[in-house]
């Protein structure tokens, strides 16, 4: 059953990894999907990989003008998935102001800009779904990623505040918080561990996977399943939640 038929979904950071898996899950439920990311080449390849007929728009979520233009071209949005994100690792005293600001701009303000663009149409329609891709770093602390943790904690806070504000208006707002997931961001973390510690790639991946009680990395499709569930009409009572997809790492 195509439970999202007639709904238009926008997914940011959708050219690869978790975002692409989310787009696929929403398409399988019958939604019309617009992919958004920075690279036109990557978006075009992703859209073709999804079978054609999938729209895409380039966007820099840190730039309000870019967001406004992209959403204007996309049209009215029923479902917004804020997946665009970046992670940079460094000890706190080596985290300069530019890095700190970049983590806030991409991981927190980017969601703010996209919600500002999409929400008016949802309110006019009396129905909407907003899902913010946070992280277990938004629920607990991690060493050497203070800026990323701060931004993701902020995103969870934004989710909860907006969920209360919109609770009686037909729009739900939730966060999905993956643990270490088998994506390019984790591959970058593996490379960083290898470079700084001299461990093998296999050892570095095992170290990250050890945070999950299941002893493995989460798969993008598993995160996409949680996101898709929150977008369904039947999920109308799910509001203001921060759902960990992490094998029991955070309870």
How far apart (Å, rounded) are the C-alpha atoms in residues 111 and 135? 14
Angle at 242 between CA 101 and CA 224, to 5 degrees: 90
Say if residues 249 and 221 touch (Cβ distance below 8 Å): no
Burial of 50 by CB count in 10 Å (0-12 exposed, 13-18 middle, 19+ buried)?
middle
Q: For residue 90, what are the β-bridge partners?
A: none
- In 3D, which of 126, 78, 244 has the Cα closest to residue 174? 244
> 142, 144, 148, 180: which one is catalytic?
148
SS3 226: helix
Report the side by side order of strands in the sheet with 8-12.
55-58, 32-37, 8-12, 79-82, 128-133, 171-178, 242-245
Going by C-beta distance under 8 Å and a sequence separation of 6 or more, which residues neighbour residue 244? 136, 139, 177, 178, 179, 250, 251
3-state secondary structure of 10: strand
Q: Is-catalytic flag, 148?
A: yes
Q: Which residues are catalytic?
A: 148
């Amino acid at each position: 059953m195509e439970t999202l038929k007639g709904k238009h979904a926008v997914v940011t950071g959708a050219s690869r990894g978790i975002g692409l898996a989310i787009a696929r899950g929403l398409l399988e439920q019958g939604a019309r999907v617009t992919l958004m990311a920075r690279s036109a080449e990557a978006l075009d390849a992703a859209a073709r990989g999804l079978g054609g007929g999938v729209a895409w728009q380039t966007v820099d979520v840190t730039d309000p003008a870019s967001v406004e233009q992209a959403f204007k071209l996309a049209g009215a949005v029923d479902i917004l998935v804020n997946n665009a994100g970046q992670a940079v690792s460094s000890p706190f005293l080596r985290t300069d102001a530019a890095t700190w600001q970049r983590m806030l701009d991409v991981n927190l303000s980017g969601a703010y800009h996209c919600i500002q663009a999409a929400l008016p149409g949802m309110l006019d329609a009396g129905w909407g779904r907003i899902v913010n891709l946070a992280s277990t770093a938004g629920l607990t602390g991690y060493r050497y990623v203070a800026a990323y943790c701060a931004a993701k904690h902020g995103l969870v806070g934004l989710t909860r505040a907006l969920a209360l504000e919109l609770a009686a208006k037909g729009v739900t707002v939730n966060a999905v918080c993956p643990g270490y997931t088998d994506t390019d961001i984790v591959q970058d973390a593996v490379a960083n561990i290898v470079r700084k510690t001299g461990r093998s790639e296999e050892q570095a991946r095992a170290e990250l996977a050890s945070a999950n009680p299941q002893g493995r990395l989460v798969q993008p499709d598993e995160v996409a399943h949680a996101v898709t569930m929150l977008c369904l009409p039947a999920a109308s009572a799910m509001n203001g939640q921060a759902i960990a997809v992490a094998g029991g790492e955070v309870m």
